Amino acid sequence: MRVRSQLGLLTIGIPALHLPPLLLYGYSRLLRLIPSESAWFAYGGNHGPWYTEWQGSVLGCCFLGQVGLAVLTLVLAFDAMLSRRGFRTLGYGLILFGGQVVLFWLSMRTYFWTVD
């Protein structure tokens, strides 16, 4: 499979790993199954409400998958450069990696309090 098509598949896979935490968190907040971050820490909880729950495991698996896809993106992008497929594929991979870093940071900023 060509590197460009592999990076294209990663473009689809990245949002797929961001969707479950978003839906889980949105559903829980909408139905008030978990309080807001400020209310939780005002209550005095050391760990988040999903620290020992299955939802925390879902978040953890999605976070690890996001890191794995980011590493795979860098490997594929630099492999394309080293095998002389051009700097255009490298640029596409680096832009994709930058987007992954931003999405990962936003998701960690939004959801990480629920498990830590």
Which one, of 35, 55, 57, 59, lies nearest residue 45 by Cα?
35
pLDDT of amino acid 85? 65
pLDDT of amino acid 4? 65
Q: How wide is the angle at C-alpha 42 spanned by C-alphas 36 and 48, nearest 5°?
A: 55
**Percent of the chain's residues with pLDDT above 90:** 14
* Residue 12 pLDDT > 80: no
Amino acid at 104: F
CB 79 within 8 A of CB 4: no
Residue at token pair 């005002």: 42
* Residue 73 pLDDT > 90: no
* Residue 1 pLDDT > 60: no
Q: Name the 3-class secondary structure at 2.
A: coil
* Residue 101 pLDDT > 80: yes
DSSP category for residue 115: T
Does 6 or 69 have the greater pLDDT score? Answer: 69
Would you state the structure tokens that stand for residue 75, as one six-digit string? Answer: 């490997």
Alpha-carbon distance of 76 to 107, in angstroms, equals 24
Would you state the structure tokens that stand for residue 92, as one six-digit string? Answer: 């596409």
pLDDT of amino acid 78? 82
Q: Taking residues 15-32, what's their average pLDDT?
A: 88
pLDDT in tens, 27-63: 999 999 998 888 888 888 788 899 989 999 999 998 8
Does 10 or 95 have the greater pLDDT score? Answer: 95
